[in-house]
């Protein structure tokens, strides 16, 4: 029973949950009326993508990618390439969050609200 669950999770289950998380983030970005909530949902979507990349680098029976004397075969270590790529992606996501918040504050200055409906209505009135 336990081995069946594990093999199902390894083949499909984890990917399914990641896909659900990704589309939940996308759903939040599409439907939430508040810009700050949209930004949070964007971060969630980003984390789903990062997690997907880390799934691809997994190796059963491998240790963390720091060399230990005596182990030099490539099957003993987890693939370090997705880790290096995703590490920079996480840090850059902080930059995008900050820039998004800055733009949001300008929106609040100009339109007096960060609700999507109010901003669109005021933009129409200005025309």
Partner 1 sequence: MMKGNKKKVAGMMMLVFIVIICWGLIDLLPTIGDPDSAPNTHISKVFIEEGPEQTDAANLVTGVLADYRGFDTFLETTVMYLAGFAVAMVLSNWLRKHWNADIFRATESFGGIDVKVTMPFIILFLLLYAAYVLFHGEVSLGGGFQAGALIALAFILYTLIGNLELNTVMLTQHFAVCVGGIGVMIYGVTGLLPLFYGGKFLEYSKLPFYVEETAKLHSIGIIFIETGVTICVMATIITILEAVLERNSLYDDRNK
Partner 2 sequence: MQAFLIEAILLLFLIAITIVIILNKDLLASVIIYCVFSFCTMLLYIMMGAPDVAFTEAVIGVISTIYFVIAIRTTDRWCK
Q: For the window 13-32, what string marks contact with partner 1 as x by the rule CB under 8 A?
A: -xxx--xx--xx-xx--xx-
Given 3, 60, 70, 124, the residue binding partner 1 (CB under 8 A): 60
Partner in contact with 49, chosen from partner 2, partner 1, none, beta carbon below 5 to 8 Å by kind: none
The footprint of partner 2 on residues 46-75 (CB under 8 A) is: 47, 50-51, 54-55, 57-58, 62-65
Interaxial angle between packed helices 35-56 and 80-111, expressed in degrees from 0 to 180 and rounded to the nearest 10: 170
**Residue among 55, 15, 23 at smallest CA distance from 41:** 23
The tally of CA atoms less than 13 A away on the side-chain side of residue 33 is 7
Q: For the window 71-100, what string marks contact with partner 1 as x by the rule CB under 8 A?
A: -xxxx-x-xxxxxxx-xx--xx-xxx-xx-
- Is residue 10 a contact residue for partner 2 (CB under 8 A)? yes
In order of 33, 115, 119, the CA distances from 126 in angstroms are: 21, 17, 11
Given 1, 4, 12, 18, the residue binding partner 2 (CB under 8 A): 18
**Residue among 102, 105, 96 at smallest CA distance from 42:** 96
The footprint of partner 2 on residues 90-119 (CB under 8 A) is: 90-91, 93-94, 97-98, 101, 104-105, 108, 113-115, 117
- The C-alpha torsion from 29 through 35 and 40 to 41, rounded to 10°, is 0
């Amino acid at each position: 029973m336990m081995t069946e669950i594990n093999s199902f999770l390894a083949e499909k289950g984890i990917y399914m949950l990641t896909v659900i998380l990704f589309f939940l983030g996308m759903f939040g970005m599409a439907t939430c009326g508040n810009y700050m909530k949209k930004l949070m949902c964007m971060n969630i979507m980003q984390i789903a993508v990062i997690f997907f990349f880390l799934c691809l680098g997994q190796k059963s029976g491998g240790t963390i990618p720091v060399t230990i004397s005596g182990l030099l075969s490539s099957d003993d270590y987890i693939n370090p390439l997705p880790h290096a790529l995703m590490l920079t992606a996480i840090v850059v996501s902080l930059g995008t969050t900050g820039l998004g918040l800055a733009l949001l504050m300008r929106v609040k200055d100009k339109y007096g609200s960060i609700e999507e409906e109010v901003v669109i209505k005021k933009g129409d009135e200005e025309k």
